[in-house]
Structure 1
Amino acid sequence: MILFRPQFYLMVAILVVLTSCEQKESIVGKEHDPNKSIVLTSFFPREGGAREKILLDGENFGVDISKIKVFFNKTQATLISSNGDRIYALVPRLPGADPKISIVVGKDSMSYENTFNYRTQAQVSTVTGNGVKSFKPGMLSEAEVYGKYLELDAEGNIFMSWRDGGTFGVARINELQNIVTPLIEANTATDRILFANGLTVDRSTGMLTASHESVKEVMFTFDPREAWYPRQKNMKYSSSDLNSIVEADRYKNFITYCPYNKHLYTRYRDGKIAKINPETLQATIVHQGPIGSQYGQAINPAKPWLLYITLHSNASPIEYRQGISVLDLRDPNGSGGFKRLNAPGGSSFRDGPLADALFNYPKDIKFDNSGNMFVADYGNHCIRMVSADDMVTTVAGQPGKSGYKDGGPVESLFNQPWGVAVNEQGDIYIADWNNARIRKLVIE
């Protein structure tokens, strides 16, 4: 009788597992043949929301997911695995309406004939504010906010500017720390230390910048390394550029950081757009566009050379009023120039292709990292989204109906939302101005 030690049985078990794994790999692991086209057959499920698991069937995908790309419209999906004939993936967030699924392997690209029925899931909640139209710092449950414009850094800090309720300033709101704190504040409109509107953050450094609305050269920076202590900076224009800014229309409501060339851009009410080096403070007028007051300004991170602007109902020429326009910063005075994107005729509501869409006093605009634009549609009391493929949908609020209510996209209510900001995860924060609250919209 032969006796075997326990170690022998362990070794046999390991060899069996390894052998079975190798056999399984040889059966299901079908490498991609670059001499043959990929073939698409079907996918399951046919509908779902963000992060839904989906199986994509076909042939000749290969097993190396680093060489495979799956797109829902223009939005790339996360891949889990592939055995050559089946890809296991997760549905991406906000791919647009009825996305077409495309698979790319090497130079080969194919799309399924049927589209995917994407279901948007959204939820609105209140972050801080109690409806009192003033500013009071403190814990989120106790603070009072009357914010107009918002911005976010990569660390989750929400920055808010306000200029109503007897005071004005810039504040920091942090959900994790449960706190609202002022960074700069004044008690009367005559003490214009910093009269701020739109805010901007360089998310690589965390630097917050705000332009002084009514002084041509002045902006303020808030460095997180200095606990966001406010520092006045003066832009350095040539005398000809500085004198060219019409004194009666010197107001610059916005300043925006552009990651494409690491400069700042601001616009004056006389229609001049300036480019500022944040290190040297050298400033140059780079474009003369339509005149008029401004509601919003933002850079698209998916195309960071495009500067988007919403103009007031006093804009001239009139075709730019209450609309979304864009300027290509690579050649601001080129053939493209400053152009309106949505249909003319403001003070209305219409979803659909951007070229046909209508807004009612669109105010602040911001983008997520996929290139979806979110619009605070002030006059329609709702939040609209312009997808990366230029389709406009209403994602929260009831068009034309004001009120205050948290919940899903159909039942939620806003009252003249003014500011928006989007974090790295794609969550949208809203300055619900006439409700004197900061709201949060999570979309999947």
Structure 2
Amino acid sequence: MNRYLLKACIISTLICCLSCKDESKSTGVEYDPSKEIVLKTFFPVEGGARDKILLDGENFGKDPSKIKVYFNNARATVVSSSGERIYAIVPRLPGANPKISVVIGSDSTVYEGNYVYHTQALVSTVTGNGVKSFTAGSLSDATVYGKYLELDREGNIFMSWRDGNTTGSTAATFGVARINEAENIVTPLIQAEAAGRVLYANGLTVDRATGVLTAAHESVQEVMFTFDPKEAWYPRQRNARYSTSDYASIVVADRYKNFITFSPWDGHLYTRFRDGKVARINPQTLESKIVHQGPYGSQYGQAINPAKPWELYITLHSNASPIEFRQGIMVLDLRDPDGTGGFRRLNAPGGSSFKDGPIQDALFNLPKDIKFDNDGNMFVADYGNHCVRMVSPDGVVTTVAGQPGTAGFKDGGPAESLFNQPWGVAVNELGHIYIADWNNARIRKLVIE
């Protein structure tokens, strides 16, 4: 039987069963906190995001607003309850073979057995045609050689580029561009030839409440640029203000700040210099302060976890020192950045390799940009392994697109898609992942269901 027809039959059966059950149990009792929650069976036992599921048991109560259902740490939508049957919607990306738990009040119970979760994904090309230079235009006509990406709530994709112009027809350029699928446009916000560049940009950050985009000038310590949608993203230079002692403390040869990140936890911007110092910047007053001294090393990526917006994640270069920090994914707790355990490595040492699994055992090969979705899943552009990896909130690493160790270009499903040195990633409000597929000179889109 066609699997889509089979799925339709299952859904119809579920709805019919639910309707019959609800009719027969319309007098179901309320949840009794003095009694245990009893879990029996769930159906179906496998499926994907947004599929329906029926959870059978006892003492659920009839108020769906008081019932929480989790697949691992991912929360499902509870539609209704008869007291003995919960009707719920499977959440997105709960991890492999999740356990299902039911929480009512202070009671929490876990079903025996695992739900078999099937990830459905598709990789497509947004813009770019393999030409390694930047040219504005429609999505089909533009050429892109982007490195880092960021998104706002309105669907604008922001890209920084530093193209080497391998065509040789014009001079290499540096800049920041806006890409919009709905408007079918790729347009520069700031652009200059290498000899006269005013902004040497890497990582980008957006305050999603205001839509303001910020880019740090890599090699000028205090300079950053903001692009406000209320001003049609007109670039404005702003200079961070450090105390004399903080300014002097940053090693002159290492005043490179490749990234700047907005934290909604305290409304501040955070940047890190190559000598390991992390600075906090007030975006209104521009008052700036060094809040942490970490290990030496250039960066590949930096991001805030929106599920825990006091956590700043950093990927360090292969030149990091001490060597145990090389090619690592680090996290800094902004609540106590210089406290014990405030800065730590998450993945296993020994880079330039590949291994999925628990993050403490996982290996990457030159991990570059990192971004989170709103559920706290972290997506990693694993440059050297030519694939996109995901770290779930419970710390499990999986490959979600691309074939580890195989470079190429191919759209399609996760098992057949190919990338060539992916560099940048960004995630929109719907959880769609955009990838700057650097050596393919394209912007790709990964939709996971």
Q: Which residue does 1:159 correspond to in 2?
A: 158
Alpha-carbon distance in structure 2 between the residues aligned to 1:242 and 1:91: 51
- Equivalent residue of 2:196, what SS? coil
Alpha-carbon distance in structure 2 between the residues aligned to 1:405 and 1:28: 56
Check whether the contact 1:148–1:161 (CA below 8 A) recurs between aligned residues.
Answer: yes
* 1:205 aligns to 2:204 (yes or no): no
Alpha-carbon distance in structure 1 between the residues aligned to 2:195 and 2:335: 39
Alpha-carbon distance in structure 2 between the residues aligned to 1:27 and 1:251: 66
- Cα deviations across residues 151-178 of structure 1 (Å, max 9, x unaligned)? 0001110000001121110000000010
Q: Which residue does 1:243 correspond to in 2?
A: 248
Q: Which residue does 1:342 correspond to in 2?
A: 347
Q: Which residue does 1:93 correspond to in 2?
A: 92
Alpha-carbon distance in structure 2 between the residues aligned to 1:69 and 1:341: 30
Q: C-alpha root-mean-square deviation of aligned residues, in Å?
A: 1.1
Check whether the contact 1:385–1:392 (CA below 8 A) recurs between aligned residues.
Answer: yes
Alpha-carbon distance in structure 2 between the residues aligned to 1:382 and 1:160: 19
Aligned partner of 2:266 among 258, 261, 282? 261
* 1:104 aligns to 2:109 (yes or no): no
| Superposition map of 1:311-390 within 5 A | 311-390=316-395
Q: Which residue does 1:65 correspond to in 2?
A: 64
* 1:170 aligns to 2:169 (yes or no): no
Alpha-carbon distance in structure 1 between the residues aligned to 2:24 and 2:157: 49
Q: Which residue does 1:429 correspond to in 2?
A: 434
Check whether the contact 1:51–1:92 (CA below 8 A) recurs between aligned residues.
Answer: yes
Alpha-carbon distance in structure 2 between the residues aligned to 1:107 and 1:270: 47
Alpha-carbon distance in structure 2 between the residues aligned to 1:322 and 1:364: 12
Q: Which residue does 1:7 correspond to in 2?
A: none
* 1:124 aligns to 2:123 (yes or no): yes
- Cα deviations across residues 101-156 of structure 1 (Å, max 9, x unaligned)? 01011111111011111111111000000000000111000000000000000111
Check whether the contact 2:55–2:85 (CA below 8 A) recurs between aligned residues.
Answer: yes
Check whether the contact 1:30–1:85 (CA below 8 A) recurs between aligned residues.
Answer: no
Alpha-carbon distance in structure 2 between the residues aligned to 1:107 and 1:361: 44
- Equivalent residue of 2:34, what SS? coil
Check whether the contact 1:221–1:232 (CA below 8 A) recurs between aligned residues.
Answer: yes
Alpha-carbon distance in structure 1 between the residues aligned to 2:296 and 2:214: 24
Alpha-carbon distance in structure 1 between the residues aligned to 2:253 and 2:187: 34
**Alignment gaps of 5+ in structure 1:** 1-22
Alpha-carbon distance in structure 2 between the residues aligned to 1:75 and 1:244: 44
Displacement, 1:24?
Answer: 5.0
Among the aligned pairs, what percent are the same residue?
76
Displacement, 1:25?
Answer: 8.6
- Tell me the amino acid that sits aligned with residue 187 of structure 2: T
Give the structure-2-normalised TM-score.
Answer: 0.93
Check whether the contact 1:218–1:232 (CA below 8 A) recurs between aligned residues.
Answer: yes
- Cα deviations across residues 58-99 of structure 1 (Å, max 9, x unaligned)? 011111111110001111001111111100001000011111
Moved over 4 A (4+): 23-26
Displacement, 1:33?
Answer: 1.6
Displacement, 1:338?
Answer: 1.7
- Equivalent residue of 1:148, what SS? strand
Alpha-carbon distance in structure 2 between the residues aligned to 1:26 and 1:324: 51
**Greater Rg, structure 1 or structure 2?**
1
- Cα deviations across residues 251-302 of structure 1 (Å, max 9, x unaligned)? 0000000011110000001110000000110000000101111000001111
Alpha-carbon distance in structure 2 between the residues aligned to 1:398 and 1:239: 50
- Cα deviations across residues 326-356 of structure 1 (Å, max 9, x unaligned)? 1100000101132111000010000111000
Alpha-carbon distance in structure 2 between the residues aligned to 1:208 and 1:396: 28
**Alignment gaps of 5+ in structure 2:** 1-21, 166-171
Closer/same/farther in 2, CA of residues 356 and 26 from structure 1, 3 Å limit: closer
Displacement, 1:26?
Answer: 7.2
- Tell me the amino acid that sits aligned with residue 178 of structure 1: N
Q: Which residue does 1:234 correspond to in 2?
A: 239
Alpha-carbon distance in structure 1 between the residues aligned to 2:373 and 2:295: 27
Alpha-carbon distance in structure 2 between the residues aligned to 1:183 and 1:150: 14
Closer/same/farther in 2, CA of residues 26 and 43 from structure 1, 3 Å limit: closer
Displacement, 1:391?
Answer: 0.5
Q: Which residue does 2:30 correspond to in 1?
A: 31
- Equivalent residue of 1:379, what SS? helix
- Tell me the amino acid that sits aligned with residue 402 of structure 2: G
| Superposition map of 1:252-331 within 5 A | 252-331=257-336
Check whether the contact 1:69–1:103 (CA below 8 A) recurs between aligned residues.
Answer: yes
Check whether the contact 1:324–1:340 (CA below 8 A) recurs between aligned residues.
Answer: yes
Alpha-carbon distance in structure 1 between the residues aligned to 2:442 and 2:395: 30
Alpha-carbon distance in structure 2 between the residues aligned to 1:55 and 1:26: 15
- Tell me the amino acid that sits aligned with residue 220 of structure 1: F
- Tell me the amino acid that sits aligned with residue 183 of structure 2: Q
Check whether the contact 1:297–1:310 (CA below 8 A) recurs between aligned residues.
Answer: yes
Alpha-carbon distance in structure 1 between the residues aligned to 2:355 and 2:107: 38
Alpha-carbon distance in structure 2 between the residues aligned to 1:183 and 1:216: 22
Displacement, 1:35?
Answer: 1.9
- Equivalent residue of 1:40, what SS? strand
Q: Which residue does 2:7 correspond to in 1?
A: none
* 1:182 aligns to 2:168 (yes or no): no
Displacement, 1:54?
Answer: 0.3
Alpha-carbon distance in structure 2 between the residues aligned to 1:168 and 1:28: 68
- Tell me the amino acid that sits aligned with residue 228 of structure 1: W
- Equivalent residue of 1:96, what SS? coil
- Tell me the amino acid that sits aligned with residue 322 of structure 1: Q
Q: Which residue does 1:19 correspond to in 2?
A: none
- Cα deviations across residues 380-400 of structure 1 (Å, max 9, x unaligned)? 000000111100011000000
Number of positions where the alignment pairs a residue of Structure 1 with one of Structure 2: 421
Alpha-carbon distance in structure 2 between the residues aligned to 1:438 and 1:402: 16
Q: Which residue does 2:4 correspond to in 1?
A: none
Alpha-carbon distance in structure 2 between the residues aligned to 1:168 and 1:192: 7
Alpha-carbon distance in structure 1 between the residues aligned to 2:348 and 2:215: 31
